[in-house]
Structure 1
Amino acid sequence: MKFTVEHIAELNLLLQFDSASLQTGIKVHTDAAPELQAAAKSLFDKNLCTLPDGGYLTNEGIQLAERAHKLLNVLSSKA
């Protein structure tokens, strides 16, 4: 199994949530790229964020966002 374009869009959107403050949400505007809007809706459908256009991360969303940050850090590190 590989990451799809949709998975990458979802991961990138998760990385946009502020991991330092759980009180900070995001809003994906209607003029945003279609793949960004679809990613927000998909995260909402998976119960990872509170609104179809972003909102706040749920508890599961917070855990997943933390893992996404860790994955990006590992993949970004120089060997």
Structure 2
Amino acid sequence: MPYTQDIVEELNILVRYNLTTTQEGIKVHKTATPETINATRRLYDKGLISQKDGGYLTSLGREVAEQAQAILDILKPA
């Protein structure tokens, strides 16, 4: 199954998290693009983040974010 635009948008949110600490979250403001706001809400609905507008990664969210960042590191141009 290829990545859908929704999945790409969700991955783009997840790779914004700083994985070196659990004390830092993100906040998606109401002025963000509708795609970003919707992606953040979907991540919340899936149990990957703690708030509808960002917040912190859940345990599952951290695992997924680690994988997303690893994929990005592997695929980015040399």
Which bin holds the TM-score, normalised by the shorter protein?
Answer: over 0.9
TM-score for the superposition, normalised by structure 1: 0.95
**CA deviation string 1:14-33 (max 9, x = no partner):** 00111111110000000100
Name the Cα RMSD after superposition: 0.8
Alpha-carbon separation, structure 2, partners of 1:22 and 1:6:
25
> What does residue 27 of structure 1 align with?
27
* Residue 42 of structure 1 pairs with residue 45 of structure 2: no
- In structure 1, runs of 5+ residues without a counterpart are none
- Quote the residue 2:12 is aligned against: 12
TM-score by length of 2: 0.96
What is the count of residue pairs matched by the alignment?
A: 78
* Other-structure match for 1:2: 2
After TM superposition, which residue ranges in structure 1, 4 or more long, deviate above 2 angstroms? none
Correspondence for 1:56: 56
Query: Residue 20 of structure 1 aligns to a residue in which SS?
Result: coil
